[in-house]
Amino acid sequence: MELLEYGFMQRALLAAVIFGPIAPLVGIFLVQRRMALLGDGMGHIATTGIGLALLLGTAPAPTAMLVAALGALLVEFIRERSRTAGDLALALIFYGGIAGGVMLVSLAGAAATTALNSYLFGSLTTVGASDLIGLGVLAVLVVAAVAVFGREMFVVTFDPDIAAVQGIPVRWMNRLVAVLAAVSVVVGMQVVGLLMVSAMMIVPIATAQQVTRSFRGTLTLGVVLGLTAAVVGLVLSFYVDVPPGPTIVLLALATFGLVAVAAVPLRRRLRAR
């Protein structure tokens, strides 16, 4: 393939392969908890982390992950006190995260503005070898956390009361899911951008739900769809010469639309039986 002749596209494909499955792996817990917008909140507050990194001259990814993780823990802390307050906390993150990021970038100078755009909308052409190593380490941490605590997170997601009776630390599991969402946002910010990263956490799972009837089936299909959208979207963006982030997200949305329409007669037949 022509695109494999370019080093930056080789690295971009590896980044897409890493991010594609990770996003829905965490996103399924957000969808089941009806907190699909948490990913957006983490993306917005990570913008403040990027602005802080550009202002201080620190590494963007670790700084963004730290700030986003702290924001995730703050949201969960407020949610533990009140569900309504939790919704308000998400709104505050939406507004404060973007405002704080833009303010810090403006203080950092004109060059920082260009750098911020690459994180807001994704810039796979700038992914270096060190970035891939960082993405790989974060992806391994996410997979390990889900592998070790997946059952507990599953029970807490569907019925916190039963989880509490079984001795599962509900609050800590909720905090773990929120932190994993923050980590996933950082993994995907160079692939699709902070403003669209949550779409890849939600849309593949929403698509899988149209045709699956179990948690495991939804998770498996969602991961496959996320990986497919990331890789195919990247390839399409190379040949059509359009930005990869929007291409990946629009492909995922188009897949959702097609599957949702195709699933209507299937559900009717199942109900008839």
Taking the C-alpha atoms of residue 129 and residue 2, their distance in angstroms, rounded to an integer, is 21
* Structural domains in the chain, sorted by start: 2-195 (1.10.3470.10)
This prediction has a pTM of 0.86
Residues in CB range of 99: below 8 A, 6 or more apart:
none
**Phi, psi (rounded to 5 degrees) for 37:** -85, -5
The predicted structure's pLDDT at residue 177: 87
The predicted structure's pLDDT at residue 188: 81
The predicted structure's pLDDT at residue 205: 93
- Within the chain, how many helices (H) and strands (E) appear? 11, 0
Residues in CB range of 92: below 8 A, 6 or more apart:
none
Angle at 98 between CA 95 and CA 100, to 5 degrees: 100
pLDDT below 50 — which residues of the chain?
Answer: none
Give the tens place of pLDDT for each residue, 10-42. 888 888 888 888 889 988 888 887 777 777 778
Residues in CB range of 126: below 8 A, 6 or more apart:
118, 190
Residue 170 near residue 160 (C-beta atoms within 8 A)? yes
Taking the C-alpha atoms of residue 136 and residue 141, their distance in angstroms, rounded to an integer, is 9
The predicted structure's pLDDT at residue 42: 82
